[in-house]
Chains A and B, each alone.
Chain A
Amino acid sequence: MTPATPEPALRKTLTEETFFLNLGPQHPSTHGVLRLLLRLDGERIVTCQPVLGYSHRGHEHMAQNRTYLQFMPNPPRMDYLAGLMYNHAYCLAVERACGLEVPPRAIHIRLICAELNRISSHLLWFGAYLMDLGAFTPFLYAFDDREDILAILGEATGSRLTYSYCRFGGVARDINQAFIDGVRAFIPKMRARLKDYDTLVTKNIIFVNRTKGVGVISRERAKAHALTGPCLRASGTAFDIRKAEPYGFYPQFDFDIPVLTGGDCFDRYMIRLLEIEQSLRIVEQALNRLPAGPVKAEGVPQFITPPSGQYHFSYETARGHLGIFLVSDGSRVPYRMKWRVPSLSNLSILPVLLPGTLVADTIAILGSIDVVMPEIDR
């Protein structure tokens, strides 16, 4: 473990009294078990080195010794905050590999659930981030809204966090009237809540001063570090898998990809609130045109076997670009399954972003990137 060399400009001001500080792995604002090895000069950070691997469970290896169906409960446990999206992505990847047709009703239900999951993930981030910055009240409002989503998704999926709802060729069960009523009631409530969030947080002078101009990632640097998701879009690049390589019925829906150009913590905050609005639009449209019909394709074999070959599938999760690389040798068990998770590349910006900032800003920057450690460690 050799710490990266400090930037030349910093080296000049460097005194002999630098010391190491372990931020994490149990720090409440590292969101999981991230350990940041910080070299400090007083309050100022000289180098930063993330230390990973505390929650490694070997998901990729697990995939190699069980059938495709048996791996179904695993993906939601990688990113527990957007579990349904991982479940959805895994199903789509295997379906693409096998060339399975999915009934339109199932596709709509999946999109509704995935977008609701995106909102709930952003809400949890919103609450936790503001808690890191010392504001407690917004956390309670965010969790109130999130609780609504969990109740709605529980109505369809039967669980609250690690959903394994999608199946190859459809979804596990049809949605009921309580689900539809719940979503219809939730959309206007959430829109009204977003206005309150604006008053409560976005215009709050303390919040603005702590986040504006802090942790600025330029457009080039964001691209160089392969940032995706809200972090990339806050730096001025309009890239979203839902538009770039669409899956499901996304091309038929009318929604925008919000882009901001500041690249600082405030823009990364703002972009997630804007994404919640867009997700609400998608959910509303999908619900309005929900077709009737079956929710699961007929004749899907229990032991699904993609033809031998290599497959890659991209998915836009709440944190960015999720890539699933699947190698099949034509047997019931995957030969290799590699998961490209968004948080890892988003985290890779920290060693170049943090030097020169203050410890208090570290919390603001780290929180704004929104890493979920179990998906990095897998």
Chain B
Amino acid sequence: MNLLLRYIGEVTSGAWSLAAGMAVTLRYMFKPVTTVQYPRARLPLPEAFRGPVELRRLPETGDHGCVACGECARTCPSGVIKVQGLKARASDFNRARFYFIDFSRCSLCGLCVEVCPVQALMFSREYEQNGGSPQVGVADLLARIREARP
């Protein structure tokens, strides 16, 4: 008799626990939806968002400020940056002649942005980048600057 009572007690409490769980689910059914329907709606990007690196455009000249010192290329843990500079005259500052980053191997750690002595690099705010081959990831940053210039 005692065993039977305990069994009935267990069944009742078990059924009650399932019903209580369902009640939680039911309550959330009438709360606002938390999912964002991605291609149609987007979340705002955080201020610190680290997108693929790009050269910063100086507002006064519309050009980049890279002096091709190569500090970013030396610091990069994956060795994905290639930068080379050119001087118009011997007394001039060095200017970047080409600047390539292979984003297919970049882990966006941002060490290049941090070590840049002239703050010529910054994080972009792009995040939908995919492609069919590794070559798609190789970006010519100077070409982007040229395209953006009027």
Contact = CB atoms under 8 A, between A and B. Distances in A.
A151 interface: yes
Contact of B20 (A69, A178, A199): A199
Interface stretch (A48-56, A117-125, A156-164): A156-164
A162 B50 CA distance: 12
Nearest to A178: B47
A66 interface: yes
Most buried by A among B13, B15, B48: B48
Contacts of A28: none
A70 B111 contact: yes
Interface in B11-29: 13-15, 17-18, 20-21, 23-25, 28
A265 to B, nearest CB: 18
A162 B25 CA distance: 32
B17 to A, nearest CB: 5
Nearest to A150: B46
Interface in A151-191: 151, 154-159, 162, 164, 172-173, 176, 178
A196 interface: yes
A196 B77 contact: no
Contacts of B114: 172
B111 A155 contact: no
B48 A302 contact: no
Interface string B42-78: 0100111110000000000000000000000001110
A204 B77 contact: no
B47 A176 contact: yes
Nearest to A143: B34
B115 interface: yes
B21 A204 contact: yes
Nearest to B11: A205
A73 B77 contact: yes
A200 B21 contact: yes
Contact of A72 (B13, B20, B46, B111): B111
Given A69-B75, A144-B34, A204-B21, A158 B14 contact: no
B49 to A, nearest CB: 5
B40 to A, nearest CB: 18
Contact of B24 (A73, A158, A199): A199
B111 A69 contact: yes
A199 B21 contact: yes
A203 interface: yes
Interface string B74-116: 0111000000000000000000000000000001111100110
Interface in A61-97: 66, 69-74
Contact of A70 (B18, B23, B47, B77): B77
B18 A137 contact: no
Contacts, number: 73
A204 B18 contact: yes
Given A73-B77, A172-B114, A205-B18, A154 B48 contact: yes
Contacts of B75: 69-70, 302
A129 B76 CA distance: 38
Contacts of A178: 46-47
B44 to A, nearest CB: 10
A7 B60 CA distance: 79
Contacts of A159: 50, 108
Nearest to A72: B109
A205 B17 contact: yes
A148 to B, nearest CB: 9
Contacts of A69: 75, 111
B49 A154 contact: yes
A158 B20 contact: no
A159 B48 CA distance: 8
A185 to B, nearest CB: 14
Contacts of A74: 77
Query: Closest 4 interchain pairs by CB?
Result: A205-B14, A158-B48, A73-B109, A158-B50
Interface of A: 66, 69-74, 137, 141, 144, 147, 151, 154-159, 162, 164, 172-173, 176, 178, 196, 199-201, 203-206, 208, 302
14 contacts: A69-B75, A70-B77, A70-B111, A73-B77, A73-B107, A73-B111, A154-B46, A155-B48, A164-B110, A173-B48, A199-B21, A201-B21, A205-B14, A208-B17
Given A74-B77, A155-B47, A204-B21, 4 more contacts: A72-B111, A158-B110, A199-B24, A302-B115
